[in-house]
Chain A
Amino acid sequence: MRSMSKSKEMQEFAENVVDAAEVQGRSLWTDARARFKKNRAAMISVYVLLAVALFAIFGGYFAQWSNEEIDWSILGNVPTKGMPSIENGHYFGVDDLGRDLYARVVQGSGISLMVGLIGAIVAVVFGTFYGAVSGYAGGRVDGIMMRIVDILYSVPFFFILVLLLVVFGRSILMIFVGIGLVSWLGVARVVRGQTLSLKNREFVQAARATGVPSHIIIFRHIVPNLFGVIIVYGSLLVPDMILAESFISFLGLGVQEPQTSWGALISEGTKTMQYGTLWQLLIPLFFFTVVMFSLFYIGDGLRDALDPKDR
């Protein structure tokens, strides 16, 4: 009897041991995902941001007017008849020229979000490439590459961006390129620092000892280990990009009609607010502010989730 129970215990134990062996190791990413999900502000922000993105992509299908159509019946008296209304199909009212503000905001949201995303991707990809190469190469190459970054860093880039737009024409592509070019420097510095500390680790030495060429070491062994840092940094870049684009467009140097963005819409709203057409300012402002808030909390959440310091 006794031996039976004992063997049963043993059996259970043995099973547990087998189970324990099968328990998956918790990777950095599972950990990070769990931590991020616990951060309520960040999770809400993700949903808000998704909602705005869906609005930018599919909102156009619900518009009663196109973004270029002028509603002649309202044009003369925008302040009295142009306010937001369901009846005449202008959900957000009309802008100064009698165009449907709903359609304009959909269009502007798309462009602003895209600038944020693509600008950040350009900056991250180029900065990672530059930083990883510089850090891995080390020595004199590293010195020269980083001196170049230092010099470019102290150039006031706002001016260069305006110049690029003036010289090559104000196209969206130029804004993407210009803003992306401006902001890879920070990424390059961070990535280089991390690469320096990674390149003497055992797995890199092992790769080098087995004759793996440098470019494969950089992109297969070093860069994947930097993803955490890169994602955090990139997520903080997105609001910066949107801000920069809005800044430039607010000055009238950014996107050109008939295209628009949050900055351009806010600028238009500012010019007409004294006539009482406040919705033209407040609606784009609302979208801009809500997205900036969300991106701020998401960036914060990602940093908390991925930053190894707090572990």
Chain B
Amino acid sequence: MLNLILRRFAIAIPTLLTLTIITYLLMHSAPGGPFTSERPLPPQVLANIEAKYGIDQPLYKQMWNYIVGVVTQFDFGPSFKYKDQTVNEIIARGLPVTLTYGVLSFLAAVLVGIPLGIFAAIRQNTAVDYFANAFAIVAQVLPNFVLGPLLILFFTLWLGWLPGGGWNGGYWPHLIMPVIALSTSYMASVTRIMRSSMLEVLRSNYIRTARAKGIPEHIVIIRHALRPAMLPVISYLGPVFVGMITGSFIVDSVFSTGGLGYYFVNAAFNRDYAVMLGVTLLLGALTIFFNLLVDLLYGVIDPQIRY
């Protein structure tokens, strides 16, 4: 187990470094920096600004300073666009919002998808199964940026039940539509994966043996079939997590929730490289960390895997 963790970290560190270097180089090669404006600044002023932000130094030195700052003090530097704000402050404002609806959507996708998939498998070719299948197909072609506007159309413009956007400190009516928009397509995928894997497990020999021994069906399913059937779902949790993160950009854009996605997209428009770099690194690190967790969980559930 420890071996696996170490090996994973051995991959995680070059990954984050690669990410930093690619991002940094890309930004550096961009035509027009963050301080180019309609009216060119006097060269003296520009030089002063560049000295303040440290971009007059050679590239490797900038990068080194940045990495040291992030690693030792968790400091992502100042924003290039908003003069009185640091990237840390922007992250501190956006991350709680993103995490709130991200975690809720993740839980919704898993906690609805798994039971629905199991029921669809147990009651194969019944109404539950057909519903689960139809749901899976429809949700697959309705990505979050399509679902979000449709939800607003129904629940805000036509029915007037829910607020059409805003955050309001995470008051629950503001959370419902973002969570539905973000979780639906992943819920459908989890359902589909759970169903097909459960069907496969239920056909195996040891399940027949268990039934032949006269064990009640619900115990066969809970104690014998569930654990192996969960494995494909668990390996799918990594992509679900990534989907929650990228999907949060759409949620912020459609529902004006003001999470990290809002700041990232704004930064992309304003060429605010510091914010882009900070958000990319933070979310990249979160993703890698989460994938590690999933791997460990996989090992706990599947005894065949020895690290």
- Mark A residues whose CB is within 8 Å of B: 147, 150-152, 154-156, 158-160, 162-168, 243, 246-247, 250-253, 263, 266-267, 269-270, 273-274, 278, 281, 285, 288-289, 292-293, 296
Contact = CB atoms under 8 A, between A and B. Distances in A.
A150 B145 contact: no
Contacts of B265: 251-253
Contact of B280 (A159, A164, A269): A159
Interface string B1-36: 000000000011011001100110011011000000
B22 A247 contact: no
A270 B153 CA distance: 9
A250 B283 CA distance: 21
B101 interface: no
Contacts of B26: 160, 163-164, 167
A156 B277 CA distance: 12
Given A163-B276, A167-B30, A250-B145, A156 B250 contact: no
14 contacts: A147-B11, A150-B11, A151-B14, A151-B15, A154-B287, A156-B280, A163-B27, A165-B268, A166-B268, A247-B250, A250-B253, A266-B146, A273-B149, A289-B146
Given A154-B288, A293-B141, A285 B146 contact: yes
Contacts, number: 108
A242 to B, nearest CB: 10
Contacts of A278: 153
Interface string B239-252: 00010011001100
B142 interface: yes
Given A156-B19, A270-B148, 12 more contacts: A151-B15, A154-B15, A155-B284, A158-B246, A159-B280, A160-B23, A163-B276, A166-B271, A252-B265, A253-B269, A270-B152, A273-B152
B141 A296 contact: yes
Interface string B269-297: 10100001001100110011001000000
Interface residues of B, number: 45
A162 B250 CA distance: 14
A163 B149 contact: no
Contacts of B146: 266, 285, 288-289
Interface in B130-154: 137, 140-143, 145-146, 148-150, 152-153
Contacts of B137: 293, 296
Chain A interface main SS type? helix
B27 A167 contact: yes
B288 A281 contact: no
Nearest to A281: B149
B253 A166 contact: no
B157 interface: yes
Chain B interface main SS type? helix
B254 interface: yes
Contacts of B145: 246-247, 250, 263, 266-267
A163 B23 contact: yes
Leading 5 A-B pairs by shortest Cβ distance = A292-B141, A270-B149, A159-B280, A167-B30, A250-B145
Nearest to A170: B268
Nearest to B265: A251
B287 A156 contact: yes
Nearest to B288: A154
A273 B242 CA distance: 30
A155 B250 contact: no
Nearest to A250: B145
A263 B12 CA distance: 34
Given A159-B23, A167-B29, A247 B143 contact: yes
B291 A154 contact: yes
B254 A274 contact: no
A251 B250 contact: yes
A121 B23 CA distance: 26
